Structure 1
């Protein structure tokens, strides 16, 4: 999965609240106050599944999730980005980026509609005034940003007289986190300066593999999860784990298939599909290569 989609900006941008409200069955629930630079906050609210095109928007949209996880996807210019809407993750749609969105089930969210004016004002403090270009993310792990978004959602709903002042301060912290963790040039150390992947990056790739074990997982998708080129990702992953991404994925698939084989009522063909193999023969070949046994023989011996 690529969690940095390339620009798909059209010549015309749209009001973000109208664009997002137009594709949801329950539109965003905004707080009463408009913050500096025209930035707006939403309360926590729930909406149903949706499958719709979202046009390029005039502001950055940053969101976090609550409650049960759901599969989500963002398709843009031939790329298909997939993830799960878990608490502690954030999605970032930079201004001017469009795409086709799919969310497979009801979710609870809160949003910040962040103007570039406000983000750049924060950059004057936190990034020494350099221009900031946010990187598109879908359900990226960031407990810090997610917690700040949760606080902002609470303030949007409170209506307290001091909420605006508190929200302005919290929004400054969110901008700082976006700049240091989700802006071009700051999203990841250069591959030349890093030997292998960090533990959190291996965990992100592994979690993604597990989430989509029954589907085709492309190397480009995995590389984009940690903002590396395909070439540098393969090298860094081997340095970090001692295995290629394909070997790592195969091990996860075979480990899961062993657990499923314990239920003798489940057909082996069903198990093959559940762990990402399209035919029983390809599953058996991979299983034998890893375990030295066929799935049927493994089940019989268990």
Structure 2
């Protein structure tokens, strides 16, 4: 990889990660066949995450070429899987994964160590929980973005995720999934409705994505659940 006048090289192996900080035009050359996934992370998002963890100093990332970070690689793999899934809830899931990616970059790959020192841990108040959960129930079939939910209670996306989990015991994504599955269980009692139609009603783009999510929560496929009613 060439950044400015500096040339960096390293052997390519499975599970390795390369990135160049903003302001540097990188040129990559790979000898041989390789498969890669790219994440372009806006500086504003990284800076917002740094502000949330209480440092207040603008982060500067190191140059890295084919380095090993199993945690970061796992997060990027999960992002890639969600992008490929076509699940209507993937946007919400990806938003939280990107926040985790920012945290790992700040913790392990900043030029200056950034201590994580958040303020007092507080969950949402009762009225905030009610506002968010009511919104989710009323829009259960929609493509709900994490930022939409955070805006309802005037919190940053990063703070909202932590506060929601403290208040409910679930991530926003997990709570939304359970609401959709609960609605689906009621709809499955109506045998005039096809399972593919129920999938669309509760917010899934495909029957396969709905079935996988339903089985993960209930332990049965929608067809098996219906037969046991």
Flag the structure with higher helix content.
2
TM-score norm. by structure 2 comes to: 0.47
Flag the structure with higher strand content.
1
TM-score norm. by structure 1 comes to: 0.36
